[in-house]
Amino acid sequence: MRVPLGARSVLGIALETLPKPMDRALKPIGECLDSTPLLDPTQLALGRWLAQYYHAPLGEALRLFLPPEARRQEQSTQARADALRLTTEGATLLAALAADQVPPGLGRAPAQQAALRALGAGPQRRAELLAAGHRAPTLRTLLQKGWLEPCGASTPATPVPAPPLHSEQAEAVAALTADRGTFRTTLLQGITGSGKTEVYLQVMTQVLEEGKQVLVLVPEIGLTPQTAQRLAARLSAPVHTLHSGMATGLRNQRWEAGRSGAPMVLLGTRSSLFAPLPALGLIIVDEEHDDSYKQQDGVRYSARDVAVKRGALQGCPVVLGSATPSLETLENARQGRYGHLRLSHRAGQAQAPRQRFVDLRKHGAPEGFAQPTLDAISETLARGAQALVFLNRRGYAPALRCHACGWLADCDRCDARMTVHRDPARLRCHHCDRSQPIPGVCPSCKERSPMPVGQGTQRAESLLQHRFPETPILRLDRDKVRSMARLEAELEAIAHTPGALLLGTQMLAKGHHFPRVELVVIVDGDSGLFSADFRAPERLAQLLVQVAGRAGRELAPGTVLIQTHDPEHPLLQAVVTQGYDAFAEAALEERALLGLPPFAPLALLRAEAPQWAPVERFLTEAKAALLAAPGAEAQSTLGPIRAPMARRSGRFRGQLLLQGTERAPLHRNLAHALPQIDKLPSARQVRWHCDIDPSDTY
Ligand code: ADP
Ligand code: ZN
Ligand code: ZN
């Protein structure tokens, strides 16, 4: 509704009506925009929980649940899927009409009769129906009467049959289907290619047959088309995708399809979590360990954790799937709070890849690639198989240096180096997006031209193209792939090209299926070993396993080569020789010793300003407020300290880290202190926020 606030008129959501009028004089509501509630009870309850848990304003939390387009004029809440089809009831009516019996309620409605007849042959796109002269109000009436229902236009007539399950899959499906109708969270841990998606499919089939809805979360928009096609080919219910890259109108339609309660699969990125799905019967969070499930501005929620909460509210099972589960989820499973199912070998005939180190101390790699690596690539391409080269650094080179005086190109606005780019040739800061021309002579000694140092994907591409001139190379990184349509097209084209090279950043590591890849090269196995962030080892281990999972997906066994200066590093050793579980075991032990998540909750108060002084003043006063509030005795409050990247985009950044022993006192402390911190005069001199369960401490 629209309500007056001071001199302005703002949008608001009515949450409840009070039993008796308040003593204060209240202004009347300006305009009521929706005749039916915009948010259903689950959405409201989840919104309230989000506001409370993440210490966010209720309005900001509820805004997540609003349809992508605030529907100002439109009164209808009817479903707007791509296509419509007859319900069983509708089909019965149509049969009666065909037999010249005019059912009650249809006698004087020739337009409705005509629309029913039009759908007698099967589903039709709404746009086609409208083009054929059927009117929107007629369709809406039929939907309201339950004679029509929305469906995805891509719904196949006969779904592709399921393969017979191997025994671990069968056990997983049995366990998960037994949970139907009750809330329970289960970790499905299976190496890449072990058949997790197959398990999801069979559980989904049963849930959909009961007339329920399924929500599937995936980390990246790049993953939705492949997954959507696979699900749609197998399920008889419509599969709707939803992500922020879609046009607003289409997203709105998907939202409305969910609201209808019709059986369907909603497949999307983290914001799909807030769609109305009144008949929700199953939530799947695929690649649950993925960083992108954590929202990094506004309400800083973890989509994985909110999914579990939503499952609890709607009484349905939640499946967290991953080859490399987060340490949080693993610990929940170890404590018995979550179920734990495993798929330990690959489905079909695929074999697990062999992993080998290439010792860069022994071989050297003047151009980024050691000789044994180049030999392996050449041999793979000669066989007509594909090789995938993974380098998590975009651009041409990560630094520009003068070899006469040692000058390095730094960003003026960040504590960071400028990255050298080609096409167009510029220096770019990856932290603030600033760019400038590449200097021809060293700005410091004016003697020599500074040279690019190190290797990014652009440089690797030109090196490889030079070495393998006949080979088609597809580079995938954020500079190259800017649109989702482009990404889909490129992936589709390359997947079936024999003897091709794929080269890219972590975009390549995520879930895509590359059936011809038989060799994976990790160019820089050392990156990430020495980061300040406590989650860095976990991320590196996940990345190594995920990237390795791209090799040998179908019939041929794959090989993974990891180039490193430190093949004895305990982390690399654990992951490569013993696998992810051994790594996780050791990493959990270390986290327990250090009092870090999942054993102790964290909250991070971040602040930034054009100078350091106001940041420090604010954080010092905030710390005092936290220490004075109840619950403070149960936690340590570290700081104020400068953030690991102390200056970014010309702003100084500082933080206070709250390390709790238990969740309840930490939240009590924050609930008391944050409103006071918000009122501090020093709070107005900085930009600040509180991040609950931060995914990194940067
Ligand atoms: P994940 O999701 O764990 O990576 P998928 O479900 O994608 O694994 O399965 C990997 C490959 O194995 C796919 O090509 C899939 O069709 C195939 N597959 C899965 N389960 C079976 C099975 N029981 N029998 C034969 N092939 C299977
Ligand atoms: Zn110089
Ligand atoms: Zn910068």
Q: What is the reported pLDDT for 444?
A: 94
For residue 440, being part of any structural domain is answered with no
Q: How is 281-317 classified by DSSP, letter by letter?
A: EEEEEETTT-GGGB--SSS--BHHHHHHHHHHHHT--
199 lines ligand 1 (CB under 6 A): no
Ligand 1 touching residue 286 (CB < 6 A): no
Find the length of the chain. Answer: 698
The pLDDT tens digits for 251-279 are 888 888 899 999 999 999 998 999 999 99
Higher pLDDT, 496 or 391: 391
- Cα 480 to middle of ligand 3, angstroms: 21
Ligand 2 midpoint to CA 408 (Å): 8
Site to substitute for ligand 1 among 197, 216, 229, most atoms within 8 A of C-beta: 197
β-partners of residue 521 are 389, 561
In short, whether 196's Cβ falls inside 6 Å of ligand 1 is yes
- Are residues 489 and 633 both part of a single domain? no
pLDDT at 463: 95
Residue 493 pLDDT > 90, yes or no?
no
Q: Residue 447 burial (CB < 10 Å; 0-12/13-18/19+)?
A: exposed
Residue 345 CB–ligand 1 contact under 6 Å = no
For the Cβ of 190 lying below 6 angstroms from any atom of ligand 1, the answer is yes
Q: What integer pLDDT is reported at residue 587 of this predicted model?
A: 92
Does residue 347 line the site of ligand 1, with CB under 6 A? Answer: yes
Domain that holds residue 609: 602-692
The answer, yes or no, to whether residue 682 has pLDDT greater than 60, is yes
Confirm whether 681 is domain-assigned.
yes
State the total domains in the chain.
4
591-606 pLDDT tens trace: 999 989 999 999 999 9
pLDDT over 70 for what percent of the chain? 90
Average pLDDT, integer, range 678-692: 96
- The predicted model gives 466-478 an average pLDDT of 91
In a domain, 373, yes or no: yes
In a domain, 419, yes or no: no
pLDDT band at 154 (very low <50, low <70, confident <90, very high): very low
Percent over 90 (pLDDT), the chain = 54
pLDDT, mean of residues 168-187:
95
pLDDT at 73: 34
Q: Is the CB of 169 under 6 A from ligand 1?
A: yes
In the predicted model, what is the mean pLDDT of the chain? 87
- Ligand 1 atom index nearest CA of 169: 23
Side-chain-side CA neighbours of residue 96 (13 Å): 14
Which ligand lies nearest the alpha carbon of 429? 3
The ligand 1 atom at the shortest distance from the C-alpha of residue 343 is 3
414 part of a folded domain: no
Residue 153: CB atoms within 10 Å: 16
Q: Looking at the predicted structure, is the pLDDT value of residue 78 above 60? A: no
- In a shared domain, residues 647 and 679: yes
Q: Is residue 567 located within the same domain as residue 618?
A: no
User: Which residue, by CA, sits nearest to atom 15 of ligand 1?
Assistant: 195
**CATH code at position 551:** 3.40.50.300
For residue 698, what pLDDT band results from cuts at 50, 70 and 90? low
In the prediction, which pLDDT does 302 show? 97
State residue 313's pLDDT score. Answer: 97
Highest mean pLDDT among 49-53, 113-117, 141-145: 49-53
Ligand 1 pocket check for 477: Cβ under 6 Å: no
| Probe residue for ligand 1, chosen from 167, 198, 510 as the CB with the greatest number of ligand atoms within 8 Å | 198
| Residue 411 lies inside a defined structural domain of this protein | no
Cα angle vertex 413, ends 408, 533, to 5°?
80
**CB-ligand 1 contact for 547 (6 Å cutoff):** no
- 63 and 118 inside one domain: no
| Higher pLDDT pick, 28 / 394 | 394
Ligand nearest to the CA of 412: 3
Taking 80 as the threshold, does the pLDDT of residue 170 lie above it?
Answer: yes
Poorest-pLDDT segment among 530-534, 575-579, 633-637: 530-534
> Which residues are 428's β-sheet partners?
419, 435
Nearest CA to ligand 1 atom 5: 195
Q: Which atom of ligand 1 is nearest to the CA of 515?
A: 14
Closest C-alpha residue for ligand 1 atom 25: 348
Ligand 1 proximity of 197 Cβ (cutoff 6 Å): yes
**Which atom of ligand 1 approaches the CA of 350 most closely?**
12
**Are 102 and 239 in the same domain?**
no
Give the environment of ion ligand 3: residues with CB less than 5 A: 411, 413-414, 429, 431-432
Does residue 179 sit in the same domain as residue 259? yes
Query: What pLDDT, on the 0 to 100 scale, is given for residue 381?
Result: 95
Whether 80 has a pLDDT exceeding 60, the answer reads no
Indicate the pTM of the whole model: 0.82
What are the C-alpha distances in Å from 333 to residues 54, 216, 284, 415, 545?
24, 21, 16, 40, 20
Q: Stretch 481-505: mean pLDDT, rounded?
A: 77
Closest Cα to atom 19 of ligand 1: 195
pLDDT for res 77: 30
Q: Of all protein residues, whose CA lies closest to atom 8 belonging to ligand 1?
A: 195
Q: Where are the alpha helices (DSSP H) in 396-477?
A: 457-467
Q: Is 342 in the same domain as 363?
A: no
Whether 8 is covered by a domain: the verdict is: yes
121-130: average pLDDT:
70
C-alpha pair distances (Å), 289 with each of 217, 321, 487, 665: 12, 9, 23, 27
Segment among 44-53, 72-81, 148-157, 254-263 with least mean pLDDT? 72-81
pLDDT surpassing 50 at residue 617: yes
Residue 366 CA from chain centroid, whole number: 37
Looking at residue 80, what DSSP letter applies?
Answer: -
Any idea which ligand is nearest the CA of 436? 3
Residue 550 has pLDDT above 50, yes or no: yes
Comparing 632 with 688, which gets the higher pLDDT? Answer: 688
Cα separation, 97 vs 101, in Å, equals: 5
**Among 104-108, 229-233, 472-476, 617-621, whose mean pLDDT is lowest?**
104-108
Q: What is the pLDDT of residue 351?
A: 66
Where is the domain boundary, 136, 151, 166?
151
- Of 570, 590, 610, the domain-final residue: 590
Judge if the beta carbon of residue 238 lies within 6 A of ligand 1.
no
Does residue 673 belong to any structural domain of this protein?
yes
The mean pLDDT of 164-176, rounded to a whole number, is: 94
Whether 535 and 632 map to the same domain: the answer is no
CA-nearest residue, atom 10 of ligand 1: 193
Q: How many angstroms separate the alpha carbon of residue 586 from the centre of ligand 3?
A: 36
> 248 and 201, same structural domain?
yes
In terms of domains, do 172 and 27 share one?
Answer: yes
The torsion region of residue 625 among left (phi > 0), alpha (psi -120 to 50) and beta comes to alpha
Q: Answer yes or no: is the C-beta of 194 below 6 A from any ligand 1 atom.
A: yes
Q: What is the DSSP string of 485-521?
A: HHHHHHHHHHHT-TT-EEEESGGGGSS---TTEEEEE
Ligand 1 nearest atom to the CA of residue 166, by list position:
23
Q: Which of 526, 559, 590 is the last residue of a domain?
A: 590
Q: 397-441: per-residue pLDDT in tens?
A: 999 999 999 999 999 999 999 999 998 999 999 999 999 999 999
Q: Is the CB of 198 under 6 A from ligand 1?
A: yes
State mean pLDDT over 677-695: 96
Whether 140 and 111 have beta carbons less than 8 Å apart is answered as no
Ligand closest to CA 189: 1
Assess whether 318 and 209 both reside in one domain. yes
For the Cβ of 195 lying below 6 angstroms from any atom of ligand 1, the answer is: yes
Residues 568 and 656 in one domain: no
| Least distant ligand from the CA of 168 | 1
